[in-house]
Amino acid sequence: MKFYLFIRYFCCMNYPQILAISQHFALQGNILSIVPFGAGHINDTFLVTTSLQKYIIQRINHEVFKKPAEVMANIATVCRHQKQHLAALNQSSDRQILEVIAAKQSEETAEKLFIQDDRHNFWRAYLFVPDTVTFDVVSNADQAFQAGKGFGKFQRLLADLSPSLLHDTIPNFHNLSWRYEQLENAIQNSLEDTLKAAKAEIDFALQHKNIATELANYLQDGSLPQRVTHNDTKINNVLMDVATGEAVCVIDLDTVMAGTLIYDFGDLMRTSLSLSAEDETNLDKVQIRMEIFEKLVEGYLSEAKFFITEKEKSLLVFGGKMITLIMGVRFLTDYLSGNIYYKIKHPNHNIDRCRTQFRLVAEIEKAEEKMNKFLL
């Protein structure tokens, strides 16, 4: 992956260009190296090492996030709020809360949390959180517990922040009915051969459309109150301490906005229950590990118990099914539309990802009753 990113970005954005961008931020020390970093599907991430510190410099994908200024305003609001809570608890924010590094400024201008380059790209910088690792796949129950606890604490520190204070950085992000409309449009406009290749997946999606209605009902009848949620709680969006294995810092805050708690727990289920990767092509490897589910629940509830309602708790597993379905629908839509949204490594990447999602939905359906019993 790293090599792929290297080729992709160092060909179109060479080292001097990224160096020039880095120099717009108030970094300490002299820049020693810049390397592509991470495995995200959306932004372009670089690790910048100076003689004194390490930093993350990111190009915000403005095709996806149309208003980068609003993304950064949300991040500032959320981080400030969480820091205040930690201070009230006499806890340090060091390493726990993302630290945005502002752009260099002259004294009279307001603090700028991002810059725009001459190609109209938007860039931001964070302090690198040291001595941490991320996992794309959960390999043991302790990791599941810590991931659940990390995101549970993240939500806990935001439980009293009004969602109305945040911008909608991607409208309709987890609106499953809207995602189905997008899929149906893509089906209408897709080429015959592409449709043929995805027939089984299209059928699966359409057979599960009732889940969108179910979600809409829960939103309407108040079962799922609006909260400030992360909305992209992929397992690799929490940094774990390299020595203790404890969750340290939740990252990738671009989609923090109004949502429901089941979206966050749902994406945790989606990205941790199976030992298989998101783009695994051997679908028999997509299997639910009950012990991982149980530890994920335990870790999450150790923090969420302070604010979760009984009704929300009873819908956590539904959240896992719904979020896994929505990701499958989104990958399928992107495949049918010519792969315009997600980064891909080969033409079938999105349909491969869709297949694992739909297999996981089917596996969750089989285990749903058992999982819900555990939550009682």
40 is a contact residue toward ligand GN1 (CB under 6 A): yes
280 is a contact residue toward ligand GN1 (CB under 6 A): no
Q: Which of residues 313-372 bind ligand GN1 (CB under 6 A)?
A: 327
> Do residues 100 and 111 lie in contact, with contact meaning Cβ atoms separated by under 8 Å?
no
Name the residue nearer to ligand GN1 (CB basis): 85 or 266: 266
In the bound complex, what is the minimum distance in angstroms from residue 248's beta carbon to Mg ion?
A: 15
Binding mask of the shown chain, residues 46 to 75, with x at each position contacting ligand GN1 by CB under 6 A: ------------------x-----------
Q: 255 contacts which partner out of ligand ADP, Mg ion, ligand GN1, none, CB within 5 to 8 A by kind? A: ligand GN1
252 is a contact residue toward ligand GN1 (CB under 6 A): yes
Helices (H), the chain: 2-12, 15-22, 68-88, 141-156, 176-189, 192-197, 199-207, 210-220, 261-272, 290-304, 310-314, 316-336, 349-375
For Mg ion, the binding residue among 233, 237, 272, 350 (CB under 5 A) is: 237
Count the residues of the shown chain that bind ligand GN1, applying the rule CB under 6 A.
11
What are residue 12's DSSP bridge partners? Answer: none
Q: Is 348 helix (H, G, I), strand (E, B) or coil?
A: coil
In the bound complex, what is the minimum distance in angstroms from residue 238's beta carbon to Mg ion?
A: 10
d(CA 263, CA 173): 10
264 is a contact residue toward ligand GN1 (CB under 6 A): no
d(CA 53, CA 32): 10
271 is a contact residue toward Mg ion (CB under 5 A): no
Residue carrying the six token digits 């009293």 = 160
Name the nearest CA neighbour of 341 among 173, 223, 89: 173
Name the nearest CA neighbour of 253 among 158, 319, 178, 345: 158
In the bound complex, what is the minimum distance in angstroms from residue 142's beta carbon to ligand GN1?
A: 23
H or E element: which one contains 249?
Answer: strand 247-250
41 is a contact residue toward ligand GN1 (CB under 6 A): yes
In the bound complex, what is the minimum distance in angstroms from residue 45's beta carbon to ligand GN1?
A: 10
252 is a contact residue toward Mg ion (CB under 5 A): yes
Residues at the interface with ligand GN1 (CB under 6 A): 40-42, 64, 232, 234, 237, 252, 255, 278, 327
